[in-house]
Amino acid sequence: MYSNEHIHNPHQPGPNPKPLKRYHTSQYYMQRVQDSLTTRISKIFCSIVLSLLFIVGLIAFIFWLSLRPHRPRFFINEFSIPGLAQQSGFLNAQITFKVTARNSNQNVGVYYESMTGSVFYKDKKIGWMPLVIPFYEDHKSTTMVDGTLGGARLNVSSQRWAEFQHDRTHGSVVFRLELTSVIRFRISTWDSKRHTMHTVCNVVVGPNGHLLPAYTNMRCPVYFS
């Protein structure tokens, strides 16, 4: 009688076979080393290129900041209506004003091709005139711009003058002075394209027809269109 202990059952898993040890050729290892060196060189090259691009970009940004033109600054110095206290003052009505234009740029000049001035009362234009001939304003310099509106350039009827008088009895008359300029920025011998610049000065005159002290030398907002 035979014992079943030594009978092999093909359906039962046997012991795990040992993995075969693979041996690589010297060419394989040389290829691995070559690929590793290529990857390192590529990474180093990319790092150098990115560093150079960053440095060039930083220099360009600093250069742009130093040459980036700032818009001119305008300040209202004087604004008056002589004869405001006279009932019939509209017959010879005049408006005079002085504005300071300041170029605060360090290395950028401003070339004014033209400038016009308009006066508004209750959002209605009552006068208009050309102000200055073309001029160049160097960096860190100031220019005085003045004008006098009267005669055909100032449209003030007896009814409008009566409105001035009514406001005057309440202490002040409110106007708006707008300057429209066509300018170009100049850096050395290079000129920018033309820009249309608008300067808005809100002015208030007292019973004597002169600009109130609170508005003297007040900065006027500037915007481009």
Model confidence over 186-225: pLDDT tens digits? 987 888 899 999 999 999 999 999 999 999 999 999 999 9
Are 122 and 195 part of one and the same domain?
Answer: yes
| Confidence band, pLDDT 50/70/90 cuts, at residue 2 | very low
Q: Which residue has the higher pLDDT, 54 or 57?
A: 54
pLDDT of residue 154: 94
Q: Is residue 194 in some structural domain?
A: yes
CB crowding 134-151: b at 16 or more within 10 Å, else e: eeebeeeeebebebebee
Q: Using the 3D structure, point to which of 33, 68, 103 is the last residue of a domain.
A: 68
Q: Is residue 46 in some structural domain?
A: yes
pLDDT of residue 18: 57
- Summarised one tens digit per residue, pLDDT across range 93-152 is 999 999 999 999 988 999 999 999 999 999 999 999 999 889 999 999 999 999 999 998
Are 90 and 165 part of one and the same domain?
Answer: yes
pLDDT of residue 168: 94
Are 64 and 113 part of one and the same domain?
Answer: no
Asked whether residue 64 carries a pLDDT value surpassing 80, the answer given is: no
| Confidence band, pLDDT 50/70/90 cuts, at residue 29 | low
| Residue 47: domain span | 21-68
The mean pLDDT value for 17-33 works out to: 59
Are 59 and 99 part of one and the same domain?
Answer: no
| Confidence band, pLDDT 50/70/90 cuts, at residue 1 | very low
Burial class (CB in 10 A: 0-12, 13-18, 19+), 51: exposed
Are 48 and 132 part of one and the same domain?
Answer: no
- The count of domains in the chain is 2
pLDDT of residue 56: 79
Are 172 and 212 part of one and the same domain?
Answer: yes
- Nearest in space to 197 (alpha carbons), one of 69, 107, 88, 87: 69
Long-range contacts of 164-170 (CB under 8 A, 24+ apart): 164/81, 164/84, 164/121, 165/84, 165/87, 168/84, 168/85, 168/207
Q: Is residue 187 in some structural domain?
A: yes
- Summarised one tens digit per residue, pLDDT across range 72-97 is 999 999 999 988 988 888 888 999 99
Are 34 and 140 part of one and the same domain?
Answer: no
Are 40 and 77 part of one and the same domain?
Answer: no
pTM: 0.71
Residue 131 CB neighbour total at 10 angstroms: 17
